[in-house]
Amino acid sequence: MKLQALTIFLLAFVASTYATISPEVYWKVKLPNTQIPTVIKDFLPQSDLKQDNTKEKVYYGVSSYIAIGWQHAANTAYERHILKKAQEKENPIKQVTEEKLDDGPLRQYFTLEKDLEKGNVINFPLLLNKNKAPFLPRQVAESIPFSMEKFPEILNHFSIDSKSKDAQAIEKTIKLCEEPEVKHKEMKTCATSLESMVDFGLSVLGTNNILAITSEVEGETENLQRYTIEQVQQIADGDNMVCHKLVYAYALHYCHVGGNTKTFMVSMVGDNGTKVKALSVCHQDTSFWNPNSFPFALLKVKPGTTPICHFVQDDQIVFVPI
């Protein structure tokens, strides 16, 4: 009886400890072999937790929406229009990048794994996103509703007009998070806090021996330009987890594992001297992607025939077992 009581006490103590420690300490305890990326650390809750009355209601970043569902079919009139234009062009990648799209999956540059070679020159999209949404403390984030069923409550909580652009953005993000997983091929969650992001990563990757990495840019630029590949380094081969920062009222990340991948760090230099170390995630199995999705039209290949890679922006985090 005494042993049972002691066990209950210890479990309660551990639970209460994790509930009160800072996100930085939580990260160090759970992921002892990797540092917190700057794009996370810079937006963690401050110790005083004072209300910032000057904060934005919704944080968009440079690119508005992160392209996530590109392995599915184009489902809006805008996306179908752009996809059709890309299919009609002899060099769809060049055509697409020159249009400087402000939204949708075509903002990301797709390439074949075999084309990640030193000396290759590509038209490269913007890596910077600049989404400055701050993390909320876990207990605060979990107290706020997050579902379309509670959509009016969410708007009321953040004092957002139901007819505003911000409301449309909130709705789009929640619907994205509530889309079903691709059965047997994908595991995903929308992490509302650093702690929930870490917990999901541990559960899907099955180890705490993890490296968290991001793309890096030396010298900010918001222009599309030509980049020359200087070095390609393979970081990992196997499952990884990618977390995309979404448009929302606080730091919200779409984290997913989507089958076997290879992860590369691609060092490049732009025509204007900008240097980037861009993470490229190469999906080895594309057989379950929709055949009408963007990458196949852009790269002129069929599902399941060759690995397809995409670069990730600087506020997206890739977690790989090491």
Q: Kindly report the number of other CB atoms within 10 A of residue 10's CB atom.
A: 10
Number of C-alpha atoms within 13 angstroms, CB side, residue 17? 9
pLDDT of residue 274: 87
**d(Cα 224, Cα 246) in Å, to the nearest integer?**
22
- State pLDDT tens for residues 63-96: 555 456 555 555 444 455 555 655 555 444 444 3
pLDDT of residue 53: 46
**Arithmetic mean of pLDDT over the chain:** 80
pLDDT of residue 211: 96
pLDDT of residue 15: 44
Q: Which amino acid is at 190?
A: C
Q: Label residue 32 exposed, middle or buried (CB < 10 Å: 0-12, 13-18, 19+).
A: exposed
Please identify which residue in the block is written with the tokens 């992860």.
263
Q: Which two tokens stand for residue 214?
A: 């991001």
DSSP letter, residue 48:
T
Number of C-alpha atoms within 13 angstroms, CB side, residue 233? 9
pTM of the full structure: 0.82
Q: Which two tokens stand for residue 175?
A: 């619907």
- State pLDDT tens for residues 152-194: 999 999 999 999 999 999 999 999 999 887 766 778 999 999 9
What 3-state class would DSSP assign to 93? helix
Average pLDDT of the segment spanning 13-17? 44
- Reported confidence tier of residue 51, pLDDT bands at 50, 70, 90: very low
Could you list the beta-strand ranges (E) of the chain. Answer: 110-112, 121-124, 187-191, 210-213, 216-218, 225-238, 241-245, 253-257, 261-270, 275-283, 308-311, 317-321
Is residue 47 pLDDT above 60, yes or no? no
Compare 84 and 32 and report the one with higher pLDDT: 32
Buried b (16+ CB within 10 A) or exposed e, 196-226: bbbbbbbebbeeeebbbbbbbbeeeeeebee
Q: Which two tokens stand for residue 319?
A: 């977690």
- Reported confidence tier of residue 292, pLDDT bands at 50, 70, 90: confident
